Structure 1
Amino acid sequence: MDSQTRRRLQQFKQSLSARAQPAPVRTPSPPPPDDHTLFMNAVRGSTPLRQDKRHPHPSAPPSPWPQRQHADLAPHTEAMSDFWPWDELAAGEELLYLRPGQKLDTLKKLRRGHWLVQAELDLHGYASEAARQQVAEFLHAAQQARRRCVRIIHGKGLSSKNAEPVLKLKLRNWLVQRDEVLAFSQARPADGGSGAVLVLLKSKRNP
């Protein structure tokens, strides 16, 4: 075998030996540290401060809205004057009223008891000023509760001076000055007759 052939065989043997060796195993590189790990590494060895975990929030100043809201909703008796340009009630005259702009049929329905009475106020035993306050608060509360028809018992005045229905006339004056009152009429005999009045209120709209 000549030297050239021997050299080729030796190169071929070396190439076979190289192929037989396993490929080196590559170790995967570790993932980059996240923000938390970087932060902890940065503050390693530091001493944490001791403090209360609760943050002392300053107290908010009181809002004027609740007070303003209460003032808007409060009944105003000063808007219910005793002096109103009505003619004096004749003996036995019914209490009747229909706010301008309302259908005449509304008053007819009220007199016939079309609406169910949903609340009642009895003024027996009240002096004039106390009765006015009671009426103002009653009408205000009734509309807030979305009552449509209420009854106010004013009495027939049998126990008053000269047996005159004092509250009957005053009540008429008060009611016509209330914006929420659409109509009122003397109650039917079964509901109090001439000693009571049925009042129809405006529908309160949803806020």
Structure 2
Amino acid sequence: MTRKSRTRQLSPEEKRLWSHVARHVKPMAGKRLTPEPGDRAAPAPQVAAPAPVPAPLPPPKPALPPLAPVERRTLQALRRGRKDVDSVIDLHGMRQEEAHFALLRFLHRAQGSGHGLVLVITGKGGAAVSSGLVEERGVLRRMVPHWLRLPDLRSLVVGFEEASPQHGGSGALYVRLRRRRGAG
């Protein structure tokens, strides 16, 4: 007894649909899509040369850690005189460029010495009248917080806050420093 095959032949509409699907599918690597015999709608696929392997991308730079405020307990201890700052720099009276470089050197030295909290005195500034024109003052008071947010100092600075009145108030900043990498 011969067994009859149960394979059903595709209708012309099913063949057209399959041909359409096959044209829009990318064959797996090393495989070819062979057209059905008698199927004129599906052209023979082109075998493309292997695509060049792109050079690996350099690892992404780590994102800058966000600034954090100085802890409330630390601020209270400073205000009450139970804690002292580790080091102080007085920038007022300096020109912007001079103050910026002095701040950079100071923060690097302070971090290298293991200091965790420093005081940066900017001066309060104000407006001075000079020959009828208003001369800009208090530049460092505005610029130092900006500098502390820049990428070149973010690797050193955890955060900063306006100092309490006994340390200079609005003319000074407490700056919390990061621990050195590799340090305890």
**Residue ranges of structure 1 left out of the alignment (5+ in a row):** 1-98
**Correspondences of 1:76-155 after superposition (within 5 Å):** 100=66, 102=68, 106-112=70-76, 113=78, 116-155=84-123
1:138 aligns to what SS in structure 2?
A: helix
Asked if 1:194 is matched to 2:170, the reply is: yes
Question: Are the aligned partners of 1:124 and 1:154 in contact in 2 as well (CA < 8 Å)?
Answer: yes
TM (norm. structure 1) is: 0.46
**Is the 8 Å Cα contact of residues 182 and 201 (structure 1) preserved in structure 2?**
yes
Structure 2 spans left out of the alignment, 5+ residues: 1-64, 129-133
Q: For the Cα contact (< 8 Å) 1:117–1:150, is it kept in 2?
A: yes
Instruction: Give CA deviations for 1:41-75 in whole Å, capped at 9, x if unaligned.
Output: xxxxxxxxxxxxxxxxxxxxxxxxxxxxxxxxxxx
Q: SS at 1:185's partner residue?
A: strand
Q: Give the length in aligned residue pairs.
A: 107
Match of 1:87 in 2: none
Alignment of 1:1-207 (within 5 A): 100=66, 102=68, 106-112=70-76, 113=78, 116-158=84-126, 162=135, 164-177=137-150, 178=153, 179-204=155-180, 205-206=182-183
| Structure whose CA Rg is larger | 1
Q: 1:109 to 1:163 in 2, by over 3 A?
A: farther
TM-score relative to the length of structure 2: 0.51
Distance 1:145 1:152, change over 3 A: same
**Alpha-carbon RMSD:** 2.5
Task: Name the structure where helix makes up a greater proportion of residues.
Answer: 1
Q: CA-to-partner distance for each residue in 1:92-123, whole Å, 9 max, x for gaps?
A: xxxxxxx6375x6x442343227530100001
- 8 Å CA contact 2:123–2:141 kept in 1: the answer is yes
